[in-house]
Structure formats: structure tokens, C-alpha cells
Structure 1
């Protein structure tokens, strides 16, 4: 018996298959949206081990750093101990400059520097302070010259006068500041400074006045000055011993008074009358000359 073929039925089936295939191959619309698929959460085991590994690395690094610091500290202490006990740094030479009024032995004693002592153990500030305690020292600078030497530079106070105080004769500077007692070991012949009532207020001008006297080129030998007196009454009095002459300068406007005094002294010397003068006094814009018969 033969097979009967139904074109209508078969045709519709074929059409249905074709339509289904077209729907499956159709592209999504341009403005269509397809929600993403959610991933399944993974296990937390890997994250935990990563944190543990990071913590271990940090702890290990910290431990190594601490060990290095301890090692450096111990090594530094050992190095310091070796350096401060080594003969290589023992003091062998001390160079001293600027001293006139006290000896090398006095400087070393004041500085507390001894040959053979390790130079690294010496405190520079202590050395300078010990030297400043000496009344002759105005300023001091100390330098360490490794490995075995020191350099000491001293600026001394300059004595300008003798000054009697409480029965003791002292050296004093140009400002009338006491330096040290006069003794045989540091003897210098200097004029005596005498301070009368009110003279203390004039002492700050002493240094400038002394320099001005030296620069004025007066026709008298300033090396023959035996006494320098300061008072409120007469200002500054200078006694010239070899001429038996007293020069007086009023404290007020003393620089102008000194210029007038210099002119008058030069005129007296030119006329040969200076040798008869006993006192020349400059004050208030005038200069007075006192002769022996008028004293």
C-alpha cells in the first residue's frame, strides 16, 4: 500500500519550523536591555590566608628593623668605647695664642687640659668656661684638632691704669673696670686712676676719651702721665709728671673741649710758654691757663 502525502499538512509544518528558526536568529532590539547574570559568591578562605600572610610579613619586617637598630646601638657603644680609650686620640699638642699676662701653665691649668688624656673625652664648653673664669680673659675660642691636638685663642683685657681699692693695687682697663691685682710676675708701670665723688658716672666715657687723647697729638709726652682723676666737679684731670702740669677737660661736650685744649697747648708750646703753665682747663667753650703765681 503506498504512502499518502498531504501537501497542506506538510507545508504548514515546514512553515512552522522556518518561523521558529527565524525567531531564534533574530537580533535583539537596539534599545532592549538584558539584565546581567549574578555570579555565585565565592568561598572566603583565600581572603583569610592573604590577610594572615600580610600580617606575618609586616611582623617579620618590624622584627628585622628592631634587630638592626639594636645592633647599630650596640655597635655604636662599642665604637665609642674603643675611640675614647685609644692612645691614637691622646692629647700630644696644645697651641695657645693671644696670651700676654699669664703663662702657658696657667692656661692649661684653667682649661684642665693634660697631656695623654683622650681628646674625645674633653668637653669644649667646660674648657672655655674654665678660661673665662680668669680675670685677664675677655673672650676665648677653643678648637679640637683631631686626633691629638687643641687650639686655644684668647683675647685678653688690656690694662690701662693702676687702681687702689681697699688697700690693694689693681690693674684696671680703660673703663675703670678692675682686672687683677698688681704683682711682681705681671708688673706693668701705668698711670693711677682716681675716682672722686660723681666720677663713677663718667667711667663709660673713659675708653673713648683715652683714645681721643692718644689721637690728639698734644705737645706733651702722654707716657709721662702719672695720674688720671675723674670727678663731677672738674670732669677729667690728667697729671703730666715731668712737666708738673695738669690738664683739665670738662665732662660736658668733652670732645670739643679737647680740641680747644689742643689748640691752646700748641700755641703755648710755639711761644715757649708751655713750660711755665701749671694748669690748663677747657670748659664751657673757653680755655684757662694758670701760671705758677696764680695757683
Structure 2
């Protein structure tokens, strides 16, 4: 016996029409509601970004030294009275980094009407002679040409023997060695960084320092700086701490301290 498939009954036209109208009505209502929401959002945003209650009243700057507060604020582009929601803090930070003394900076909103600028300045550790005198920080970054207003002449040792190419490639790691020597000298009592006027870098001989007093050359090599300087200290102690009459000192020979005295031609 053949079984006939059930035929799907067709809804009456009136019911189908009412369903169509209902669906269209819901769509129109949703579209209108969305338009009101968008319009309301735009209006609310405009109200917030023009509200006098959100105008910047305080700009706090911390960590500044060589970079003045006024300069940091000027570079940031942030102005008192400006709406705090319209400030681009990333752009403001990038602008402040335009000052070479700024190693890092963070700009953030700290309230409805206040902004904080947190600066981390570079710490100069030496002057370095390339095509002129430049300033090097404790990380080994050469970040600016030295200027009289920096007040670093005579305050920091001068590194010589580098070229821009050698400083960039540095296959022997002499930059790192130089920074290590400076760090050790800074932390020493007795003969220390204040007694050094120049650090000479040589790819074959290593590092040599020149003293402020008497201009004595001291060959220190590229390693075991602390031990070598301790040995030098003993010799200086025996001489009352004086370099007088000494032309050069070699503490990079593996045998101790070798002193070369000046020749009296008088």
C-alpha cells in the first residue's frame, strides 16, 4: 500500500501579513532606538569633553632635575584648562622624550582634573671623545653632545680611543669593560673616580687611566680591576698617597705593580 506524504498546510494570508508587519515594526523600532542611543552617546561625549569640571587644574612633575618642570610641561603639550579626556598621554610622553636627558617618562591621569608626569633622567657617567665631546650614561648610551651648560667638564672622566664604528660594533666588549671600571672606581675609597681625568681605550692593550694629579698613566687591562687597584693602593700608601715622580704604572702584567719613574734631566 502506498502511503502519501502529509502536505504542509499554508497559513492564511491575513496571519502572514500580520507577521510580516510585526517583524518590520520591530526592525523599525530597533533602528530608531539605535539611532537615539548613538545620538545620545555623541551628545554625552561632547558634554564630557567640554565640561569645565574635567578641565586640567594640576600638572605634577616628579623626577626632574636637569629637565625643569616648566620644560617638561611645555614639551608635553598639556595645558591647564584643557579637557582631561582629550589628552593623548602616549603622545605627551613621546614629546617629553625629545629632551635627551629624559631616559624614560610616564604620563598619566591621576584624577578628574590632574595629570602626573613621572620622569626618569639619564645619569651621566663619562664624557666620550668622538668627533667632539659627547655625554655617555650609565647604560653606555651616548645621548647628547656635551655643552658648557651641562657643567660636566672636569666632573667626569673623558673616554678616548673610540670611534663611532668601534663604539657601535665593539667586538671586544670594551664599552662594557669601561663602564665596569668606572663603576668600580666610583665605589672605591682611596684612589677613585675623582682621581681619574681620562680613560684611554686600546683594542690591543686594553684600558689605561690618566690621573688628575701629575697626569700619570696607569695600565689596567680589561679584567680584575678591583684586585689591580687594591695592589696600586698599597704602593700609593707606601708613598704617602702621592704620584709625584712617577711617569707610569703597569698593573696589567700579572706580576704585580711596575712603576716607571720620571727621569730627572735637571
> How does the TM-score come out when normalised to structure 2?
0.80
Aligned to 1:147, what secondary structure does the other structure show?
A: coil
Is it true that 1:155 corresponds to 2:126 in the alignment? no
Is the CA contact (8 Å cut-off) linking 2:129 and 2:162 kept in structure 1? no
Is the CA contact (8 Å cut-off) linking 1:260 and 1:282 kept in structure 2? no
Task: After TM superposition, list the pairs within 5 Å mapping 1:50-65 onto structure 2.
Answer: 50-65=15-30
Is it true that 1:205 corresponds to 2:169 in the alignment? no
- Segments of 5+ residues of structure 2 without an aligned counterpart are none
Task: After TM superposition, list the pairs within 5 Å mapping 1:88-103 onto structure 2.
Answer: 88-103=53-68
Computing the radius of gyration from Cα coordinates, the structure with the larger value is 1
Q: CA deviation at 1:207?
A: 2.6
Aligned to 2:38, what secondary structure does the other structure show?
A: helix
Is it true that 1:187 corresponds to 2:151 in the alignment? yes
Aligned to 1:223, what secondary structure does the other structure show?
A: helix
Structure 2 distance, partners of 1:127, 1:249, is 46
> How does the TM-score come out when normalised to structure 1?
0.73
Structure 1 distance, partners of 2:145, 2:55, is 34
Structure 2 distance, partners of 1:199, 1:72, is 63
Is the CA contact (8 Å cut-off) linking 1:236 and 1:248 kept in structure 2? yes
Structure 2 distance, partners of 1:250, 1:294, is 25
**Please, what is the CA RMSD of the aligned residues?**
3.1
Structure 2 distance, partners of 1:45, 1:273, is 116
Task: After TM superposition, list the pairs within 5 Å mapping 1:126-165 onto structure 2.
Answer: 126-165=91-130
Aligned to 2:20, what secondary structure does the other structure show?
A: helix
Is the CA contact (8 Å cut-off) linking 1:96 and 1:153 kept in structure 2? yes
Change (3 A) 1:294 1:51: farther
Task: After TM superposition, list the pairs within 5 Å mapping 1:159-178 onto structure 2.
Answer: 159-167=124-132, 169-174=133-138, 175=140, 177-178=142-143
Aligned to 1:179, what secondary structure does the other structure show?
A: strand
Task: After TM superposition, list the pairs within 5 Å mapping 1:1-295 onto structure 2.
Answer: 44=10, 46=12, 48-167=13-132, 169-174=133-138, 175=140, 177-184=142-149, 186-188=150-152, 189-196=155-162, 200=167, 201=170, 202-215=174-187, 217=188, 219-242=190-213, 244-251=215-222, 254=223, 256=224, 258-272=225-239, 275-276=242-243, 277-283=246-252, 285-293=254-262
Aligned to 1:115, what secondary structure does the other structure show?
A: coil
Aligned to 1:279, what secondary structure does the other structure show?
A: strand
Deviation string 1:253-287 (CA, Å, 9 cap, x unpaired) is x1x2x143133123314433753544332335344
Aligned to 1:56, what secondary structure does the other structure show?
A: helix
Higher helix proportion: 1
Structure 2 distance, partners of 1:43, 1:291, is 117
Is the CA contact (8 Å cut-off) linking 2:184 and 2:226 kept in structure 1? no
Is the CA contact (8 Å cut-off) linking 1:229 and 1:236 kept in structure 2? yes
Deviation string 1:69-92 (CA, Å, 9 cap, x unpaired) is 111111111111122222112211
Q: 1:32 maps to what in 2?
A: none
Aligned to 1:275, what secondary structure does the other structure show?
A: coil
Structure 2 distance, partners of 1:122, 1:59, is 44
Change (3 A) 1:234 1:269: same
